[in-house]
Each structure stands twice: as structure tokens, then as C-alpha cells.
Amino acid sequence: MTVPALHPWPWKTALCLCAISLLVLGRQLDFSGYAHADEPNKVHQITRDKYNFNHPLLMLHSVKLYARATGIIDDYNAVMRTGRWNSVVFSSLAIGFLVLLTGRLHGAWIGAAAGALILCTPLFFELAHYFKEDPALIFGLSLSLLAMQFYGEKPSVVRAAMLGAACGVAVAGKYAGLIVAPFAVYAALANHRARDLWVVALSAVAAFALINLPMITSPDLWKSRVDYEVSRLKATGVPNPRKIPHGDYFSDFYKHASPLVLLLLAAYLWGGWKRKFRLSPAEWTLLLLPTVYLVILCFIPTKTERYILPASVLLACVAAAGLAPLQQLKRGKAAAALIFAMAIAWQAPRVYAENAAFASRRHAEVLTHLQTQLPSSASVLVDNYQSLEPSLAPSPVIKQRTLQPHETLESLAAVGFTHILVTAKRYPVFAPNSRRASGLPPEDDAKMRKLYDDIFGKCRLVFEWKQGKKKQLEPEFHLYELPQ
């Protein structure tokens, strides 16, 4: 079977899915600014005009430009909301780009199915709400894939420059965007345009440099932060790193993908085999990039679930493309529509649960309880410095910091604390049956375990909030009264 002819660009479909994504993802963005530990740091980089260069600057620069243009650069909460809207916009544009790509290859209906499957991917839905770099990476990768298809249809120097610029944007989103580079080289060579490689490379470097100019003008600081990120990937100093290679990230992908998505992936491979895998460079990249990406992750000793986002998003597009060969069967259109509807129905409750978690106001609820239910003379130690919004109320006194190994119940009471709010971010490490390493020296570790044992055994439990389905948005809190 020959490679099917290209379909018309589905501009209206892509615009519609992009708009739907903006509406759906932008509904619950006013949750606590301290729910995710990484968000306050990013806000401070903008409000204090001092980057730490842990990541390339596409995300931070775009928020900073908007904040300056609108005069909100000194408003913490306004910058936080802008950062989250930035993630929503990047995520929605990524959906639009991938709808264009899959629709061009397989038809507008397949493109719409790809957009719907991406939007109903729980991990994508979750990360699109945070002021994090993951949506910027997805934006850059999807733009690169679209540029690759555009270049492959009619190769030219101008289109090669567009492809290179898109790749530069991908790397400016996150260093992991470098994975697109060899596929861009393949696109040029597959079209017998080796001379375009210089154009692709130079335009990629130019786009990256333009977005990351502060990095380039601070080379020593940039290099030190890159070295730091590399050490994190190598799990240097991390307790109990995973042995490599491992299959944890494939397990995470399987956990987040519904069985019906896996069925559609199998249908796509079957269809590819029928046409002897005569795929365009862009289609090969759509299939191989997420697969190679997952394999690379298996050689990283650290494990963070959000790292699989690019694979989850791109393979959702491949799964949607698996509807195309099914439609060619007898009664295939009805079967394909049924499988697609079942795939959406499978994912919808999980996405609904994610949305409900973002609608939760657990942090504000806890802070209100402290301010209204405790006596004005109370002094509360919150055992984590990024748990609650900063309190402007004069009473009770609320101080947020982590407990220290040298402290005891007596020393805490001696400096005036009457209550302690224990958060689930830290104490489970020191629980009696915990196997998690604290990273502290053995003597300090033993002191911390004794301190928590004393809190739970000798202090009076005043109130507690159970953990919800999303521990970051609905975390567990325990309020104890110290013995006086």
C-alpha cells in the first residue's frame, strides 16, 4: 500500500480544539500559590528579576514580558496567575499544532480525535495548570513536528530555517527538547537536502540564543546550573537511586494510558505494517520520538512522573491515527467511532477528578481555620515553609519553617509556640515504619524521628484534614497543641 495522499490543512478544526482547550484548562487557576513547591521559586525569579537558570527561559521570559507590559511585575499573585495562564496557552497551542499535523496526515476527523485524546490525558490536564516548564516543552516539540511536516512537503531554505527555529524553541522550553535535533537532521537527509543542515543548525542556535540571551551573557552561572541539573539526573547525592536501566517510566505511561489507547496504538502499528511503514519523516518522528524518549528515561536513575508528558501527548496522537486503518474495515467507521468514544469515556472521570482537585481550596481552608478557631494568643509553627499562603492577620502568629533535629517539644514551647501544624510533605519520611531515606546524618535522623514520635504521642490532636485524591492540592494536615 502506498503512502496516502495528504489531506487539506484542518485550520478550523485546530482553531476549535485550541479554543476548547483554553476554555477547559483555564477554569481553575486560582488555587493556592503554594500548592506546588516549584511555583513560588519561579514567581520570585520574575518579581526579583534574578534568574537561577535551572531551565531555559522560554517559559520565564514570556511571563516576564507580559508582566512588565501590564505593570504587574511586582504583584506575586498576579505573576502566579499569569504563569499558569502561560502554561494553559502553551498547552492549547500544542494541541492546535498537533491537530494540524495529524489532520494533515490522516484527515480532519483524526486530527480532532487527537486533540480530544490529548485534552483527556490526565497528566497533560494536570501539568497544564501549573507554572512549570513542561507545557513549554510540549509547545516546542509540537511546533517542531509541524515545521517538519511543512518542510517535508516542499523543502526549501526558508522552510529549513523555520524548522531550525522551531527546534530552537523546543530546546528553549526545556533541555529535553534536544531530542528533536536528530529527527530534524533525518528530515533534511530524507528529502535529499543535506545542504539545508547548516540552515537548520544556524536558525536553531539563533532562536535559542534570542530567547536565552541572559543565559549567554552569564556563562559561568549558566554552566554551574546546567552542571547542577545534570547531577540531579545522575541522582548525585539522592538517597536510594534506581538501578539503570529500569522500566519505571514505561510503567508510568501504561498507568496513565487507557487500555483503549493501547488498542489504538496497536491498530496504528497494524496499519503501518499494511502500508509497509512508508511514512513521512514527520510521521516517523511522531512515532519514534516518544518511544526513544521513554527509552532514554529508563537510563535516568531518578524518577519523576511528569517526565513522561511528551510521550503521553505524542503517543495520544499516534493512537488517534490508529483510527484511520480501522475505518477501512467493514463497518470500520462505526467501530472506530465506538472505540474513540470509549477511550474518551475511560479518561473523562480521571480528568474530572483532576479538575475537582484544582477546585479544592484546602490551603485556604486550613489557614481560615487557624485564624478563626484558635485563640488570638496562639502561636502556630507550620512544619513546612511552603505549605500555606503568607498570613497577613495579626493573630494568631503563624510561622512557616521546617522542624530541626536539635528541637524538642520543650524548646518549641519555650520560644512561645502553642501549636504545631504537621504537613504530609515531610513527616512520612520519619514515620516508624518508613523505608524512605531522609538524607540526614544518622544522629540527626534519629533525633527527627524522636521529635515526631513525641508530637504524635504527647501532643493533643486538635484537628486534622485527610489527604484528597491529589496530595499537592488536597494535602494532609494535622494540628496539634503542644503541652505547656
Mean pLDDT to the nearest integer, 147-152: 95
Of 183-192, 389-398, 405-414, the one with minimum mean pLDDT is 389-398
28 touches 358 (CB < 8 A): yes
Which three cell numbers mark 290? 516518544
Q: Could you tell me which residues are beta bridge partners of residue 422? A: 478
Q: What is the CA radius of gyration of the chain?
A: 25
CA distances from 176 to 136, 141, 188, 374 (A): 11, 10, 21, 48
CA distances from 451 to 288, 299, 383, 443, 447 (A): 51, 38, 12, 13, 6
> Which of 18-27, 142-151, 474-483 shows the lowest mean pLDDT across its residues?
474-483
Give the whole-angstrom CA distance, residue 277 versus residue 263.
18
**Model confidence at 1: pLDDT above 70:** no
- Does the structure show a pLDDT above 70 at 435? no
Mean of the per-residue pLDDT values of the chain: 87
Q: Pick the more confident residue, 55 or 114.
A: 114
Q: Any idea which of 182-196, 210-224, 368-382 has the lowest mean pLDDT?
A: 210-224
pLDDT at 460: 92
DSSP classification of residue 103 = H
Helix (H) and strand (E) counts in the chain: 21, 5
322 SS3 class? coil
Contact (CB, 8 A) for 281 and 191: yes
Res 219: pLDDT:
73
Whether the pLDDT of residue 233 is over 80: the answer is: no
Among 30, 28, 50, 32, which Cα is nearest to 41's? 50
Residue predicted with more confidence, 49 or 82: 82
Distance CA 246, CA 301 (A): 8
Regarding pTM above 0.85, the answer is yes
Mean predicted confidence (pLDDT) in 220-236? 69
Higher pLDDT, 396 or 360: 360
pLDDT bucket at 2, cuts 50 / 70 / 90: very low
Query: What confidence score (pLDDT) does residue 386 get?
Result: 54
pLDDT band at 245 (very low <50, low <70, confident <90, very high): confident
Which tens digits make up the pLDDT trace of 301-345?
Answer: 878 889 999 999 999 999 999 999 988 888 888 989 999 999 999
Tell me which of 36-50, 279-293, 430-444 is least confident: 430-444
Query: Percent of the chain at pLDDT above 70?
Result: 91
Which grid coordinates are listed for 80? 502566579
Q: Which residues pair with 479 in a beta bridge?
A: 421, 463
